[in-house]
Chain A
Amino acid sequence: MTTGLLSRIAETLFWIGRYVERADDTARILDVHVHRMLEEPSGDEDAGCRALLAILGVPAAPGERIDIGTVLAGLAFADDGPSSIAGALQAARTGGRSVREVVSTEMWECLNVTWHELPDRRRAAGRLGPHMFLRYVRERAALFSGLADATMSRDEGWHFLVLGRSLERIDMTARLLSLRMPSASYAPDWSMLLRASGADESYIRTHGGTGDPAQVAAFLMLDRLFPRSVLHALTLAEDCLAALDPDPSRAGFTDAARRPIGRMRTRLEYTDTTLLLGQLPELLPALQRACVEASAAVTEKYFQYALPVAWAQEG
């Protein structure tokens, strides 16, 4: 029997999915960059940090020099907004608190304990380096996904959670790749991008240890089997939307959320991999736009509640 999920709860689950994924991805990206910068003190730290802050949506004040400490403060430890790891985890935990009765106790405890532990981990990071903190975040995100996977029924709630996670993954991977665009003032090498996506080992097993840029970009964008590739996330998001609304019309789709996602998915799927590098400057912003459009359409379609109340004549 499908009775429908409370709209408010569906929205909260969608955002928990997004926030946990955001914390995870941000931790991966920071981990790789922080350590690269420590290894190469001669590199242009200021430009690198500015580029990082810019793609993750926390623009830095012009003028003053920015170092890795500033980046960590803004992207890892700040808790004043969901752009940072701590902020995203706090938002996920607040959300979890308001959907306690629909998620398993283990999932809630995972979010709650993670949030309670953050200050300690942050202090430990001050002593032992940021890796301790970032690895903790990745582990907790993995634990959350695993618990969701093991304890949640594959009902609407699950689809909203996974949809949120997939859209965030697409968005974050697009942001990460845009660090390599020709216009960027600072360009990390390709192996760093692989590591920041957790894709280095899988890539090497697939294509060998030679980092051919076109092949790396194709792996991160188009690989059908690697679960953090953009194409994989698009497919998963589309599956979730299809499960939420099978939309059996004979021609076309009425689901406004499915259109931008499906369009991007087919576009990527049939892209000529040899031309991919040249198309990135156009593809990446298009991907981010598709995520925004899909997110807005999902909100419009499923998350309608708390509307202004008025007297109305019915029947």
Chain B
Amino acid sequence: MADLFDDYLPAAAWDEMFERAGVPRSAYGPVLAALQPLDKGELRFRADQLARVFTDRGVTFDYAGEERPFPLDLLPRVIDAAEWAVIDQGVRQRVRTLEAFLADVYGPAEIFRDGLVPWRLVCSSAHFHRQVAGLTPPNGVRAHVSGIDLIRDEDGRFRVLEDNVRTPSGVSYVMENRLAMTRTFPSLFAEQHVHPVDEYPARLLHALRAAAPAGVDDPVVAVLTPGVGNAAYFEHTLLARLMGVELVEGRDLLCAGNRVYIQTTQGRRPVHVIYRRIDDGYLDPLHFNAGSVIGCPGIVNAARAGNVTIANAVGNGVADDKLIYTYVPEMIRYYLGEEPVLANVESHRLESPDVVEWVLDRLGDLVLKPVDGSGGKGIVIGPHASDRDLAELRIKVEADPRAWIAQRPVALSTVPTLTENGPAPRHVDLRPFAVNDGEDVWVLPGGLTRVALPEGELVVNSSQGGGSKDTWVLAAERVREPQAPPIPMPRVTPDATVPEGGPAEGAQQQ
């Protein structure tokens, strides 16, 4: 029998579905079994259905001023229970460490006195904001939501590529992907237990409420969005809707007497926790970019006065600076006294002239990243870059080595992805989302798998033509839910009929 995966040739990277051509890994067994009876036409049909569902629901991101769909690939990515346990533990460890670091940066600054991290790295970071020094959040949490980007290297080991503790986005696609997949491809789910992902909004709301200022028993939470033009606007509406809180824009807010209010048809209403999806620079024109019209003037003062909590906290960007990233394994040992569960990608700091020279000699063999960039902007992958790009890069790196780190190019793992010619290997990464409520860090099982759709492409960002995959975390074994007592049923009595009526059909008269 002709098989869907007959022509599938794994690329020169860790393939997550196949050990080698024709030999699948055990986690993918049931998925393969469900896929194999289908032919390419059938798969194409379902993929079109899937795209249609997304267009109709308005699941889009805005890029360069236009709404684009975020393509969902039909073939899921599967992570087995043992692999997930490592990721879960590693991400939680990472988030706890970054929290400790942020508290240190804006507080006692011990790690710098102990000489582990040079203070100059912090004060030269564009995302370090003195405006919030000494501002301790009510429950101590600064990274209410984090997204830790992971990749899988050539040996199948998960490694941390970068940390995002400012306003990581993408979780809406995790929820929408699952919804679309269960609707268009229910048979795939039949044979196994996949961890659900719809718990996220409740967890987030809980964490936001837990972060409310002291003395507020029933806090009002709002999501602050830059507006419909923002790339992640869809996500902002989804989160607000699923949490049942207001979605506000800067112009809906008003600060008076160091308190923040939303303006309603019935006048002002106080708000206590603001989950903002606006960058620091635009959040408060009084303290940051004075030209910002999307922010709320006075909000930082209100936070300092302890009347409102800003989530994620202002100034978090200092912890996901890519130079700081290179110190995180050391920080884990320093703050937690633990060994890192997830390793970094091998990185070089361009601090001494020797290293700079060494890196400049090998630009074509390395990946160079701007330290404060996000969304894949400015990354130069040496082996893929043209001579001209490399020449330009050399000039930039020589001018400002502090702005760059160099990394070994990792061949990201691949997962079969539906293309015009059937399934083919495409590179993926993984962004698990962690929510910190102050008591514990919870990691959403799965996370966002982004896939680079062009063949051989290593940059997976949606703004660079990426798509996504539904990401399954398999339960170790079918979870036995405690049996709820059966719902009492009324006894069926003979008169429990469905009422019907209307005049009898007219008698036939001749």
Contact = CB atoms under 8 A, between A and B. Distances in A.
Interface of A: 2-8, 10, 94, 97-98, 100-101, 105, 108-109, 112-113, 116, 156, 244, 302, 304-306, 309, 312, 314-315
A185 B297 CA distance: 57
Given A7-B264, A112-B58, A97 B228 contact: yes
Contacts of A244: 265
B55 A116 contact: yes
A113 B266 contact: no
Given A8-B251, A305-B263, 15 more contacts: A4-B264, A5-B266, A6-B246, A6-B265, A7-B265, A8-B252, A97-B233, A98-B228, A101-B238, A101-B241, A108-B58, A109-B57, A305-B252, A306-B252, A315-B257
Given A94-B228, A312-B256, A6 B263 contact: yes
B264 A109 contact: no
B265 A10 contact: yes
Contact of B56 (A2, A116, A305): A116
Contacts of A2: 266
22 contacts: A3-B264, A6-B248, A6-B262, A6-B264, A7-B264, A8-B249, A10-B264, A97-B233, A100-B241, A101-B240, A101-B246, A105-B57, A108-B58, A109-B56, A112-B57, A112-B58, A116-B56, A305-B252, A305-B263, A306-B251, A309-B254, A314-B256
B64 to A, nearest CB: 18
Chain B interface size, as a band, is 20 to 34
Contacts of B310: none
A101 B252 contact: no
Contacts of A5: 264-266
Contacts of B228: 94, 97-98
Sorted nearest first, the 10 A-B pairs with minimum C-beta distance are A4-B264, A4-B266, A306-B251, A100-B237, A101-B241, A101-B240, A305-B263, A302-B265, A101-B247, A112-B58
Nearest to A115: B58
Interface string B264-305: 111101000000000000000000000000000100000000
B266 A3 contact: yes
A156 B266 CA distance: 10
B257 A314 contact: yes
Contacts of B251: 8, 305-306
Contact of A309 (B227, B237, B266, B297): B297
B366 to A, nearest CB: 43
Interface in B213-260: 227-228, 233, 237-238, 240-241, 246-249, 251-252, 254, 256-257
Nearest to B58: A112
A7 B248 CA distance: 10
Contacts of B241: 100-101, 105
A2, A6, A314: residue with the most chain B Cβ atoms closer than 10 Å: A6
Which of A101, A156, A312 is most buried by chain B, counting CB atoms within 10 A of its CB?
A: A101
Contacts of A94: 228
Contacts of B265: 4-7, 10, 156, 244, 302
Contact of B58 (A4, A97, A314, A315): A97
B263 A7 contact: yes
B439 to A, nearest CB: 28
Contacts of A309: 254, 297
B241 to A, nearest CB: 4
A113 B297 CA distance: 38
Contact of A112 (B56, B227, B266): B56
A3 B56 contact: no
Interface in B397-452: none
